[in-house]
A and B are shown apart, each in its own frame.
Chain A
Amino acid sequence: MHELSIASAILEKVASEADLRPCARITKVGVRVGEISGVDPDALSFGFECLVKDSPFDPLDLDIQLCPRTQRCPSCVHEFPAPDSHTACPRCGRPDTLCISGEELDIAYIEVEEQTPAGTGNED
Chain B
Amino acid sequence: MTTRVQVEQKVLTENQRLAIELRERYRQNNVFCLNLISSPGSGKTSLLERTLAAFPKDTRVAVLTGDIQTENDARRLSKYGFPARQITTGGTCHLDASMINKHLADIDLAALDLLLIENVGNLVCPSSYDLGEHAKVVLLSVTEGEDKPLKYPSIFSKSELCVINKIDLLPYVPFSLEQARENAQRAHPGIGILEVSCTTGEGLDQWLGWLHRRRDQAIAAASARS
A-B complex is real: yes
Chain A residues with a Cβ under 8 A of chain B:
1-2, 5-6, 9-10, 12-13, 17, 27, 31, 36-39, 69, 84-88, 95-99, 103, 105-114, 124
Whether B185 is near chain A, meaning CB under 8 Å from some CB there, is: yes
Question: Are B125 and A109 in touch, CB under 8 angstroms?
Answer: no
Binds A, one of B4-12, B22-30, B107-115: B4-12
In the assembly, what is the distance between CA of A19 and CA of B12, in Å?
A: 19
Chain A residues positioned under 8 Å from B190 (CB to CB): 96
Add 15 more A-B contacts to A17-B7, A85-B153, A105-B11 (CB < 8 A).
A1-B124, A12-B14, A13-B11, A13-B13, A38-B124, A96-B189, A96-B190, A97-B189, A103-B154, A105-B12, A106-B10, A107-B8, A107-B10, A112-B3, A114-B3
Q: How far is the CA of A105 from the CA of B155 in the complex (A)?
A: 14
* Cβ contact within 8 Å between B8 and A2: no
Looking across the interface, which residue of chain A has its beta carbon closest to that of B15?
A9
Which residues on the A side are within 8 Å of B189 (C-beta)? 87-88, 95-98
- Distance to closest chain A CB from B34 (angstroms): 19
Number of A-B contacts (CB under 8 A): 103
Render B165-198 as a binary contact track against A, CB cut-off 8 A, 1 for contact: 0000000000000000001011101100000000
Query: Across the interface, do A2 and B124 meet the contact criterion of CB distance under 8 Å?
Result: yes
Q: Which residues of B contact A (CB under 8 A)?
A: 1-15, 92-94, 124-125, 127-128, 149-150, 153-155, 157-158, 183, 185-187, 189-190
Q: Do B93 and A6 touch (CB < 8 A)? A: no
The prevalent SS among residues of A at the interface is mixed
B154, A2: Cβ atoms closer than 8 Å: no
Which residue from chain A places its CB closest to the CB of B14 in the assembled complex? A9
Among the listed A6, A31, A113, which residue makes an inter-chain contact with B2, where contact means beta carbons less than 8 Å apart?
A: A113
Question: Do A9 and B155 touch across chains, with their CB atoms under 8 A apart?
Answer: no
Q: Closest CB of chain A to B193's CB: distance in Å?
A: 13
Report the minimal beta-carbon distance from A103 to chain B, rounded to whole angstroms. Answer: 7
